[in-house]
């Protein structure tokens, strides 16, 4: 049986950083994100009883060993739930850069969770699919849903899942300008960052104040208050990066271009253009603003040499593009 699914990356307003249970990707804290529209992964899973092992392609080439191993582990969890043994052929591709902090694994594993579950005959509800996607990549549980999403930390596999705060039509004028300053693979993977996070002296302090940050972020989304949202998402992003810089094996994700973009956005905001910055675990900057301001910022960014831009907006959750016939 064959199934194909599409899912989008998400940008976290309140970040996931640190695991309580790495094997299940149970997070140390709840998080809130926006599922995007244009940064997508498309994945096809074909169950094939003639295969001795899963075969994974990225684009038209065989995936590297690390990606293949990760996908095989995930498919093993799907097969265990479906009580199936056949291996599968997986073909996946992204329309945006991977491995550089734009949530490519979130998009990829959300699409894989939906395609694989259907290819193996599972009909999962949204909560079950969110929990399944989390096993591949923690933030993938958020990309299963569209719009504005909270990943509730929970205490077990069944309770650590995403819920929708508002759909993608709730705030249609919101924009995320992704400024791609580097496509190079990250020096330290997110998985390594999660493991090292508790070694930072700032880690526990962040966890202590996140309850208030989550509540303010929910309120900003509900009322579509860009200023309120910006006032929490910007310091929250910088806090994550401060933790990364102060772990037992410090890592600096930022490049000189990262800092330059941040400084320019700060200056443009002082000039009256309301826009705020956030960054996941990578050098690329997400500028959160509204459509009218985005139209002014894009030519300014290009004038300063930042030509690789993705102007994105709220988008839907994971979607099936094709599925097996009913059994």
Domain boundaries, the chain: 2-169, 174-312
d(CA 13, CA 33) in angstroms, rounded, equals: 5
For residue 261, the model assigns a pLDDT of 98
For residue 288, which of 180, 179, 176 has the smallest C-alpha distance?
Answer: 176
More confident of the two residues 239 and 185: 239
pTM (2 decimals)? 0.94
From the candidate CATH numbers 3.40.309.10, 3.30.930.10, 3.40.50.880, 3.30.70.890, the one assigned to the domain spanning 174-312: 3.30.70.890
- The dihedral of CA 80, 82, 88, 92: what is its sign? negative
Per CATH, domain 2-169 is 3.30.230.10: yes
CA dihedral 179, 180, 181, 183 (to 10 degrees): 170
Band of pLDDT at residue 276, cut at 50, 70 and 90: very high
For 152-191, the pLDDT digits (tens) are 999 999 999 999 999 999 999 999 999 999 988 877 788 8
* Spatial CA neighbour of 1 closest among 77, 80, 115: 115
DSSP 8-state assignment for residue 314 = B
Q: What are phi and psi of 226, to 5 degrees?
A: -65, -40
pLDDT of 327 above 70: no
Euclidean distance between CA atoms 65 and 72, whole angstroms: 10
Phi and psi, residue 238, nearest 5°: -65, -30
pLDDT digits (tens, 9 = 90+) for 22-52: 899 999 999 999 999 999 999 999 999 999 9
The answer to whether 129 and 122 have CB atoms below 8 angstroms apart is: no
Tokens in use for 152?
A: 């509730």
């Amino acid at each position: 049986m064959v199934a194909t699914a599409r899912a989008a990356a998400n940008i976290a307003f309140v970040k996931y950083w640190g695991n309580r249970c790495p094997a299940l990707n149970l997070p140390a804290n709840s998080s809130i994100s926006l599922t995007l529209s244009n940064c997508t992964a498309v994945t096809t899973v074909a169950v094939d009883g003639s295969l001795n092992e899963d075969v994974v392609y990225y684009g038209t080439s065989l995936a590297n060993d690390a990606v293949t191993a990760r996908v095989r582990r995930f498919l093993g969890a799907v097969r265990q739930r479906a009580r199936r043994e056949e291996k599968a052929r997986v073909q996946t591709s992204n329309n945006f850069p991977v491995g550089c902090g734009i949530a490519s694994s979130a998009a990829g594993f959300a699409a894989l969770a939906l395609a694989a579950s259907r290819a193996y005959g599972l009909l999962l509800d949204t909560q079950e699919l969110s929990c399944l996607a989390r096993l591949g990549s923690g933030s993938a549980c958020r990309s299963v849903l569209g719009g504005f999403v909270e990943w509730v930390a929970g205490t077990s596999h069944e309770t650590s899942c995403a819920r929708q705060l508002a759909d993608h039509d709730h705030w249609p004028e919101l924009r995320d300008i992704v400024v791609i300053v580097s496509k190079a693979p990250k020096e330290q993977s997110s998985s390594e960052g999660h493991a090292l996070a508790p070694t930072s002296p700032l880690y526990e302090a962040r966890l202590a104040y996140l309850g208030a940050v989550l509540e303010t972020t929910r309120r900003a989304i509900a009322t579509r208050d860009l200023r309120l949202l910006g006032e929490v998402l910007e310091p929250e992003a910088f806090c994550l990066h401060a933790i990364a810089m102060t772990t037992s094996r410090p890592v600096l994700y930022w490049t000189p271009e990262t800092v330059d973009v941040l400084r320019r956005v700060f200056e443009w905001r002082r000039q009256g253009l309301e826009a705020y910055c956030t960054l996941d675990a990578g050098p690329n900057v997400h500028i959160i603003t509204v459509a009218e301001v985005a139209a002014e910022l894009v030519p300014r960014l290009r004038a300063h040499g930042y030509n690789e831009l993705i102007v994105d907006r709220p988008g839907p959750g994971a979607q099936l593009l094709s599925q097996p016939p009913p059994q």
